[in-house]
Structure formats: C-alpha cells, structure tokens
Amino acid sequence: MANVFDVAVVGATGAVGQVMLEILEERDFPVRNMYPLASPRSAGKTVQFKGRTITIEDLTEFDFSQVQIGLFSAGGDISKDYAPKAAEAGCVVVDNTSYFRQAEGVPLVIPEVNGHRIADYTNRGIIANPNCSTIQMLVALKPLHDFATIERINVATYQAVSGSGNAAVSELADQSARLLNGQPIEEPTVYPKQIAFNVLPHIDDFMDNGYTKEEMKMVWETGKILENENVLVNPTTARVPVFYGHSEALHIETSTKVTAAKARELFDAAAGTSVMDTREPGGYATAAIEGATTDDVFVSRIREDLTADNGLDFWVVSDNVRKGAALNTIQIAERLAADYLS
Ligand code: A2P
C-alpha cells in the first residue's frame, strides 16, 4: 500500500481550505499530487504548495478516482453531493462541514478524544470533522472526563468571524474601517446586524426550541464524540468582532469533586492542551494573541465554582480555523494515512 498520497482539497480558496494547504505543507504530509478544487469561478487560478504553483480545478469536473484522500471544506451542500461520489470512487473523505456529522456510520472524530473511531471510515468512506466550538471544548474536557465523569456543561462561546468564511472577515474589516473613519456602514451581507464593535447572540439558524443550530451542534456532537448521551450540554453561542480564535467560558459539573489544582495537573498532562493561568493581569490566553495561528487549546482562569460542590469554571481559547477546522481535519488524515492506508 502507498505511503505517499494523492490529495484533493475541496474549497481550496476558502478560509479553511487555504489553511489546510498551509498545514499540509507545514507538517510535511506525505503528498504525491495535490489537487486544489473550488467553484468554476476559481478554476484556472493558482495556489502555491511546497514551492510549486498549482492550478485550481473545477470541482464539478474532477475525477476523484485520482486521489486517495479528499479534504472537504466548501459548505454542507457541496459535501452532500460530492463526498459520497468521492467515496464511491475510492477516495476517503475527511469532511469539515456539518452535513455528515450525525449520519449513521460516519465517525465524528477529534484525534485526542476518540481517535480510535477513525477505523469506522470503512463504513461509508467518510469521516466527519466536528464543529469548531465542540472541538476546543472537548479537547479541554477529555482529561477531566476521564478522571471524573462530566455530568453537566454550561458553555458560552465568543466566536471569531473567520468561522463564517472569508466574506465575514472582509465584512468585519470593512465595517471597522468605515466606522473608525466616521462613515456609515454598508448593508451587512454575511450577518443580520453590524458585527464591528458589536456582539451577536446568534450563530447559524434558529431552531424550534429557541436554540440556534450552532448551539444544538455542541449538544449533538458532544454525545456522539464522548459516546455518552448522559453528558448534559447547555450552550449559548455568540459572534464577536474578533478575526481569528474562539473563546469559551465553561462551567462544568463532575461526578466527584475535582479541585482547581487537580484540574490544572490534568490539563497540563493532556495531549493538545496548554495551561496559561498565572492569576495576574495578562496571565491568561486570549483569541487574538494566543488563539490565532497556534495549534494548542489554551486553558485559563481555572477555578472552583462558588455555587456547586463539584463545579469547575475555566476559559478555553483556540484557533478556530486551525484546531477548530483545518488542523483537526489534517490530524485525522495523518492517523488515517499512517494507521489504515499505508
Ligand atoms: P470559490 O472561491 O471558487 O467560490 P469560505 O468558507 O471562505 O466562504 O470559502 C468557501 C470555499 O468553498 C471556497 O473555496 C469556494 O470556492 C468553495 N465553493 C463555494 N461554492 C462552491 C461550489 N459550488 N463548487 C465548488 N466549490 C465551492
């Protein structure tokens, strides 16, 4: 079997796809031929990969039998149509969209949490990458959950605009520039209200129960990934005027008491987490500084809940485009390549 791979990146011009190409190069993923794919609008343009200029191809024309691995990040509708076609052609798809996350037989994987599930790629040829907010939350919670089962999670998120793609990054930049220059903003196109200098308590569609789909993704995905539907999740997700890096305030309750000192020890020893918590001004992680262009999930402000015996509070920051999307996808692909396809 191969130990170098032909790889397609679907959505190669997008906020996540561009970073996928960077990370594949940075981590020296064993790529033989790289195929960047996007819409007909981008076909014929080029990207740089490992010092070479590669032409972007039109997804609709691409023959997936040429590749063994496909990394998808072009939206749920594209994955819905093309991931099964790619899998049918023998390509294993690692899908960054939400389309297959709850699908029967499709593993939903964070390598540090449930990497063993990658083996289930054989069911449908598709592995799903979780939601960005779920990934950083569960990377942080996994060592605690292994020590003292988590019973309840209260979480509030503060999410960067890059999670909505490049158009949202431009919308925040443009609105900020206009407002700082004393000009009125244009009618927003990505968000329903001004995002610059504002906070929107709304991410993704509203559901019948009053929660948003982003909030329900955190509920649904946590049960599937931890393989435990008894872990209660009570989320509020908000969009903040930050370009890169999601922050989360977590309030959890465990089956037995975990002290702040013990929690710190567990976070310190875990894979993928980095504690930054000196209990002084600036001694904590923030999105724009630590949570952008880095790989770790940072844990700060670790303290015991004043109102619940087995409660712990902490602050979690991570790069939503890297660990929340592109990096996690590539870590899955690395394990897939090394353990199953080589
Ligand atoms: P394109 O740049 O050609 O539109 P973002 O998440 O930053 O909004 O990026 C979305 C990604 O999905 C881009 O790479 C975009 O390509 C790609 N994409 C959007 N629509 C399609 C489509 N119909 N077919 C293929 N790729 C698409």
| pLDDT tens digits along 46-61 | 999 999 999 999 999 9
- Closest protein CA for atom 10 of ligand 1: 14
The atom of ligand 1 lying closest to the CA of 40 is 3
Substitution site in 13, 81, 166 for ligand 1 pocket (most atoms within 8 Å of beta carbon): 13
Active site residue 91: no
- The predicted-structure confidence for 22-35, as pLDDT tens digits, reads as follows 999 999 999 999 99
- Closest among 304, 303, 301, 266 to 280, alpha carbons compared: 301
Q: Judge whether residue 262 has pLDDT over 80.
A: yes
User: Mean per-residue pLDDT for 290-294?
Assistant: 96
Per-residue pLDDT, averaged over 199-220, amounts to 98
CA-nearest residue for atom 19, ligand 1, is 74
**If you ran DSSP here, which 8-state letter would residue 210 be given?**
S
- What does the pLDDT average to over 228-248? 98
Distance from the CA of 44 to the center of ligand 1, in angstroms? Answer: 14
Q: What is the pLDDT of residue 258?
A: 98
Q: How many whole angstroms separate alpha carbon 275 and alpha carbon 289?
A: 15
- CA 15 to ligand 1 centroid distance, Å: 9
Q: How confident is the model at residue 342 (pLDDT cuts 50, 70, 90)?
A: confident
Specify whether 246 is catalytic: yes
Q: Render pLDDT for 68-119 as a digit per residue (tens, 0 to 9).
A: 999 999 999 999 999 999 999 999 999 999 999 999 999 999 999 999 999 9
For residue 71, the model assigns a pLDDT of 99
Average pLDDT, the chain: 98
Task: Give the residue among 62, 8, 57 at the shortest CA–CA distance from 31.
Answer: 8
Place of tokens 């890297």: 322
Q: Whose CA is nearest to atom 4 of ligand 1?
A: 39
Q: Is the pLDDT of residue 122 over 70?
A: yes
For the segment 173-188, the average pLDDT, to the nearest whole number, is 98
Q: Which whole number is the average pLDDT over 229-242?
A: 98
Q: What residue owns the CA closest to ligand 1's atom 18?
A: 74
Distances (CA, A) of 112 to 24, 85, 145, 189, 232: 19, 29, 13, 37, 21
Ligand 1: lining residues by beta carbon, under 6 Å:
11-17, 38-39, 41-42, 59, 74-75, 78, 165-167
pLDDT band at 1 (very low <50, low <70, confident <90, very high): low
pLDDT tens digits for 297-319?
999 999 999 999 999 999 999 99
Could you tell me the distance, in angstroms and rounded to a whole number, from the CA of residue 237 to the centre of ligand 1? 25
Six-digit token pair at 96?
């960054």
Query: Tell me, what's the pLDDT at 92?
Result: 98
**Cα R_g (the chain), whole angstroms:** 20
Q: Which of 91, 145, 202, 246 is catalytic?
A: 246
The pTM score is 0.97
